[in-house]
A and B are shown apart, each in its own frame.
Chain A
Amino acid sequence: MDDSGPRRTVETPEGVAVVVEVADLGTRAAALLIDLLIVVCAAVLVALLCVWALAPVVGSSLSAALFHLCSFLLRGPYFLFFELRWQGQTPGKRWLGLRVVDRRGGALSPRGLVARNLMREVEVFMPMGLLLTLQFGGGEPWLYYSALLWMGVFTLMPLFNRDRLRVGDMLGGTWVVAAGGRTLGRDLASRWGASGASAAAAATEAPSPAAVFRFNAGQLDVYGIAELQVLEKLLRGPRTPTTRETMEEVCERIRAKVGWPTPVSGPDVERFLEDYYAALRGHLELRALFGDRRADKFALRPRAAARTAANTGEKAPRGGKRNAWGG
């Protein structure tokens, strides 16, 4: 994922390292806006209900009391209720795929949620109230500046730490992470080496025969994991006229680099790339099993690296510019 936030590893109680992605601040702000919008709409609805439906029946002051109670419940308690009920999600967070989780990887504690939502009063509602009073009540300059300072310290706290914790998160021992899932794409290597019944079963989308392009070890030794995954991205991307062009270009580059004798064109381009991808992946995975994870094409093979170091007495040379398929 390219648009991901900083990643952190959380160890679960049974010792599995789970990678979480600290939620983007803009997304969190948007989720808060959605929630506030819901709260404001609900408050307006309750107010209208109180004025039109309740007031004639139970009297205006009791309905006003009810309104005050509701508007109180619609602030902190609204967030608390949903985060308890929906396991760390409010409607806004759910919509945008965010989730509150325990920072140390344990179960989300109700008290932590209470703490983080009590703090909301100071971080969100108080500055808002202050701004409103300044807007409508005039107010004195010192009040204005102290309000600004206040917001600077509390409201902007998430900007000043690397885990984007707001003060409430610090108190509750929580953080907000991206909760979105993704679907599993098809295995691009499904055609590789498979034939007969299993190939037909695995590759129903592309009912083609087994690989037509085969490569030897020397032709697979020129690239590393980084290039493999760039190629994967290209093959998984949507098919547009531009990607066709890119594919042809990449195909030419690979062909030149591995010394493939015959030109490849037309529908064969994609097949060539897929076969090369599958062969390269198999090759690199096998090397990795033997303890040799080749990061990219600039990383030398262990034996070659040793030879270079012995010859020149220096560290292995590294490529200058790292454009994946450039040279």
Chain B
Amino acid sequence: MADEGLPSYRFRRERQDRWQQLDALVTRAERNGLRSLDAEELLNVPLLYRACASSLSVARSISLDADLLEYLESLVRRAYFVVYGARSSMAALLGRFFARDLPAAVRGAWRPVALSAVLLLGGVAAGWTITAADAVWFEAFVSADMAQGRTPSASREDLRETLFKKPPAAEALTAFASFLFQHNAGIGMLCFALGAAFGVPVVVLLFYNGLVLGAMCAVFARQALTADFLAWIAIHGTTELAAVVICGAAGFHLAGAMIDPGRRSRLAALSASGRRAATLVVGAVVMLFVAAGIEAFGRQLVTNTPARFAIGGFMLAAWCAYFGLCGRRRGPARQTGG
């Protein structure tokens, strides 16, 4: 009885139960997620997947049934997606990201980080010097709605008040912080994304933001408020500017892959460095979140200059220690093990 019919028909009849079993499991996994499968079914999926993959390669050589081949191909493809999807749980993913991936990515990209830090600080220096020499330049660097009255023509009292005034309602600042968060995170992502355009826009963006900051510094310096202004910036600015620098570094990292892909193709180089750059940007966005929090609450609560400097300095040291030291243990451990 088993010898009856075409060989390809018998082939199908003997195996189609297993195909349909896999089909049912994959359909459930697609519809309700892998969690809906119990332990035994989960173990079964890769076994059935391999069986079906071998069925497919046999079918390709012995069967001319187009419908059968199409079915097996789609089944193996779907099972392959289930078996090789992104697997880790969110919590494990986040843990590994902050404990290892992010600091390692920053350390690995120290050259682009240094480059974007130099560009940003260079922008600050240039903006400060130029505006200090001739206040007319201020308007060229800082738009009116960004300046919010903090122009060279403002009086010392007005400027001082912007640094130390207690807000009418503390809540008003949460909205402000949130706007800044959105704005700054946007700029951070832009830095990353623009890196793919050979990095030129990143240079402009970093330097320009430096210019704005430098010009503001010059305005306050004219009224002998330098230290107060720097403290006002530093309390959250060390975190925020570090984040901007890291975003810029991510952009340069990408640009490096575009400009000099080495032995790989541009596409391969881009996707390799794209992943590291993405790590940098996600870290920077988290930092910008922290910065916005400090800006919204810390700066309004702490209103004296030395304390602001202390908090800013502490944050900077903390970030440096985190990026410099965290997640190093795994490397040596692997070496001693092997």
Interface residues of A (CB under 8 A from B): 1, 12-14, 16, 18-20, 59, 61-62, 64-66, 68-69, 71-72, 76, 83-88, 99, 101-103, 105-115, 118-119, 121-122, 126, 153, 167, 170-173, 179-185, 187-190, 192-199, 202, 225, 228-229, 232-233, 236, 278, 281-282, 284-286, 288-289
Q: Given A64-B178, A65-B178, A198-B1, do A229 and B64 touch, yes or no (CB 8 Å)?
A: yes
Which residue of the partner chain, among B8, B20, B271, contacts A112 with CB atoms under 8 Å?
B271
Chain A residue numbers with a CB within 8 Å of B86 are: 83-84, 87-88, 107-110, 113
> Are A288 and B61 neighbours in the complex by a CB distance under 8 Å?
yes
**A85–B64 Cα gap in the complex (Å)?**
39
B68–A68 touching, CB < 8 Å = no
Stretch at the interface among B119-127, B182-190, B219-227, B325-333: B182-190
Q: Which residues of B sit under 8 angstroms from A101, Cβ to Cβ? A: 81, 84
List B contacts of A225 (CB < 8 A).
64
6 interchain residue pairs of minimum CB distance: A171-B274, A87-B85, A173-B271, A122-B193, A115-B278, A65-B178
The chain B residue sitting closest to A229, CB to CB, is: B66
- Taking a contact as CB atoms under 8 Å apart, the answer to whether B6 and A184 are in contact is no
The interface bits of chain B over 260-279 (1 if a CB of A lies within 8 angstroms of the residue's CB, else 0) are: 00000001001110111111
Kindly provide the distance from the CB of B37 to the nearest chain A CB, expressed in whole angstroms. Answer: 13
By the criterion CB–CB under 8 Å, are A182 and B74 in contact? yes
* Interface pair A172/B179, CB less than 8 Å apart: no
| Chain A residue contacts of B74, Cβ below 8 A | 180-182
The reply to whether B8 and A121 form a contact with Cβ atoms under 8 Å apart is no
**A19-B64 contact in complex given A62-B174, A64-B178, C-beta closer than 8 Å:** no
* Subset of 7 A-B contacts with CB under 8 Å: A114-B282, A115-B271, A121-B189, A173-B272, A184-B23, A188-B65, A198-B1
Q: A173-B274, A185-B67 are in contact. List 17 more A-B contacts (CB 8 A).
A: A61-B171, A83-B86, A99-B81, A105-B84, A108-B86, A110-B93, A112-B278, A115-B277, A171-B254, A171-B278, A173-B272, A181-B74, A185-B71, A187-B68, A190-B9, A192-B5, A233-B66
Q: Which residues of A contact B178 (CB under 8 A)?
A: 64-66, 68-69
Chain A residues touching B, majority SS: helix
List the A side residues contacting B270 at CB < 8 Å: 170-171
Q: Size range of the interface on B? A: 35 or more
Once bound together, how far apart are the Cα atoms of A172 and B68, in whole Å?
A: 34
- Measured between beta carbons, the chain B residues less than 8 angstroms from A202 are 5, 13
Give A107 to B82 CA distance when docked, in angstroms. Answer: 10
Q: A62-B171, A72-B182 are contacts. A118–B278 as well, Cβ < 8 Å?
A: yes
Nearest A residue to B87 by beta-carbon distance? Answer: A107
Determine whether the beta carbon of A61 is less than 8 Å from that of B182.
no
Q: Which of A59, A107, A122, A189 contacts B9 (CB 8 A)?
A: A189
- The answer for the CA separation of A111 and B85 in the assembled complex, in Å, is 13
Interface residues of B in 180-221 (CB under 8 A from A): 181-182, 185-186, 189-190, 192-194, 196-197
Residue in B26, B175, B277 whose beta carbon sits within 8 Å of that of A68 in the complex: B175
- B interface majority secondary structure: helix
Determine the residue in chain A with the shortest Cβ distance to B16. Answer: A184
Residue B53 at the chain A interface, CB threshold 8 Å: yes
The answer to the question of B160 belonging to the interface, with a C-beta cut-off of 8 Å to chain A, is no
Cβ-closest chain A residue relative to B20 = A184
**Bound CA span A181–B20, Å:** 12
CB-CB under 8 A from B33, the residues of chain A are 85-86
Is A19's CB under 8 angstroms from B274's CB? no
Kindly state whether residue B162 has any CB partner on chain A within 8 Å.
no
Chain A residues whose CB sits within 8 angstroms of the CB of B279 once the complex forms: 111, 114
B67-A236 in contact (CB<8A):
yes
Which B residues, 94 to 146, have Cβ-Cβ distances below 8 Å to chain A?
Answer: 101
- Closest A residue by C-beta to B250: A118
* B166 touches A (CB below 8 Å): no
Contact status B77-A18, CB under 8 Å: yes
Report chain A residues within 8 Å CB of B186. 121
Chain A residues lying within 8 Å of B194, measured Cβ to Cβ, are: 122
Whether the pair A232, B65 counts as a contact (CB closer than 8 A) is: yes
Chain A residues with CB under 8 Å of B254's CB are 171
| Residue of B12, B90, B193, B272 most packed against chain A (CB within 10 A) | B193
Contact at A68–B179, with CB atoms within 8 Å? yes
Determine if B193 and A118 form an interchain contact, defined as CB atoms under 8 angstroms apart.
yes
Contacts of B7 in A (CB 8 A): 285-286, 289
Q: Give Cα distance in the complex from A107 to B173, angstroms.
A: 44
B73-91 interface code vs A (CB 8 A; 1 in, 0 out): 1111110111011111010
Task: Name the residue of chain A whose CB is nearest to the CB of B177.
Answer: A65
Q: For residue A121, which residues in chain B have a CB less than 8 angstroms away from its CB?
A: 186, 189-190, 193
Which residues of A have CB within 8 Å of B192?
118
Are A88 and B85 in contact, with the CB atoms below 8 A? yes
CA distance A84 to B278 in the complex (A): 15
Within the assembled complex, what's the spacing in Å between the Cα atoms of A72 and B193?
17
**Given the complex of chains A and B, what is the CA–CA distance between A147 and B19 in angstroms?**
51
| Cα-based distance from A76 to B188 in the complex (angstroms) | 13
Residues of B within 8 A of A172 (CB): 271, 274-275, 278
Shortest distance in angstroms between B249's beta carbon and chain A's nearest beta carbon?
14
Whether B155 is near chain A, meaning CB under 8 Å from some CB there, is no
Query: In residues 266-322 of chain B, which contact A (Cβ within 8 Å)?
Result: 267, 270-272, 274-279, 281-282
Q: Are A285 and B6 closer than 8 Å at their CB atoms?
A: yes
| A183 CA to B61 CA, complexed, in Å | 21
Report chain A residues within 8 Å CB of B14.
none
Q: Mark B29-63, 1 if CB is under 8 A from A, else 0.
A: 00001000000000000000010010011000111
